[in-house]
Amino acid sequence: MRIVLLGPPGSGKGTQAARLSESLGIAHLSTGDILRSAVAAKTPVGLRAAQIIQRGNLVPDSVVISVIADRIEQPDCSSGFILDGFPRTIAQAEGLDELLKGRGILLDAVVELTVDEGALIARIEGRARETGGARADDNPETVRRRLEVYRSRTTPVSAYYRAQGQLHGVDGMLPIDEVTKEIGEVLGGVELQRTALQNG
Ligand code: AP5
């Protein structure tokens, strides 16, 4: 399966994508993780991205589209992948459409996790405490900026997929296991629909 997981910072994308990757045996592609590794390794992409991430802004579309284009060519993506944190702008969503079209593959589903803003902030604060503030962007000022950027740049991406009939909302306020179960039900429904279409 090829799945996009959408949701604001702290909504549980990384948590759920890791579980889905394990249960479905597909690759977990997190642009946030890829960029943080690039920053740690001081690659040209990392050097360009470090300050942008620290300020809570978005890395340029062309950079992340090219990162994903390279990544989906890897053998571990041949049986499918889950995109966590990409696409985050309309230009990235259009870029992804082009990439997939060029390879003759389709997205199976876009799952959006919805979570109240107060809970998002509390979760990120919790993670910062647990990890001793390991992420440079998990401080209150940057979290506010990440949420603003999500509202202005990424909310339109939900509308983009809704218009294509691909968007499935899941209540991300539920406990972690319940969210996993709800996503499983959504994907089960998508699979059934696909089988029915194939069988005419
Ligand atoms: P990225 O790494 O993608 O961060 P994010 O979207 O801000 O999301 P988070 O990792 O903070 O949260 P999450 O939704 O994965 O939640 P998690 O599972 O960790 O991006 C970081 C930066 O990189 C961006 O700001 C940007 O600069 C750059 N970037 C990345 N992608 C880009 C792109 N495509 N274009 C341009 N720039 C890009 O959970 C959070 C916490 O909540 C955890 O402690 C978890 O245990 C807990 N939790 C999870 N689910 C639940 C639940 N149901 N109930 C209670 N607690 C829960």
DSSP letter string, 101-154: HHTT----EEEEEE--HHHHHHHHHHHHHHTTS-STT-SHHHHHHHHHHIIIII
127 Cα to the center of ligand 1, angstroms: 10
* Closest ligand 1 atom to Cα of 57: 27
Asked if residue 121 lies in contact with residue 143, where contact means CB atoms within 8 angstroms, the answer is: yes
Residue 100's pLDDT is what? 96
The answer to whether the CB of 26 falls within 8 A of the CB of 68 is no
How far apart are the C-alpha atoms of 95 and 10, rounded to whole Å?
25
Q: Is 146 a catalytic residue?
A: yes
Instruction: Please give the pLDDT value at position 200.
Output: 81
Active site residue 13: yes
Residue 72, amino acid:
I
Interior angle at CA 137, CA 86 and CA 6, nearest 5:
25
Question: Among residues 55, 135, 153, 162, which one is catalytic?
Answer: 135
The pLDDT, as a whole number, for residue 9 is: 97
Q: Report the candidate in 58, 165, 55, 162 with the shortest Cα–Cα distance to residue 114.
A: 162
How far is residue 85's CA from residue 107's CA, in Å, rounded to a whole number?
15
Whether 127 is catalytic: yes
pLDDT at 90: 98
Token pair 């389709």 is found at 106
pLDDT at 193: 87
Whole-angstrom distance, CA of residue 82 vs CA of residue 149? 22
Q: What are residue 52's DSSP bridge partners? A: none
Per residue of the chain (200 residues), what is the pLDDT tens digit? 999 999 999 999 999 999 999 999 999 999 999 999 999 999 999 999 999 999 999 999 999 999 999 999 999 999 999 999 999 999 999 999 999 999 999 999 999 999 999 999 999 999 999 988 789 999 999 999 999 999 999 999 999 999 999 999 999 999 999 999 999 999 999 988 888 888 88
Q: For ligand 1, which residues put their CB under 6 angstroms from it?
A: 7, 9-15, 31-32, 35, 52-53, 56-59, 64, 85-86, 88, 92, 123-124, 126-127, 137, 146, 172, 175-176, 179
Interval between CA 8 and ligand 1 midpoint (Å): 7
Amino acid (one-letter) located at 36: R
Ligand 1 mean position to 162 CA, how many Å?
A: 22
pLDDT at 70: 96
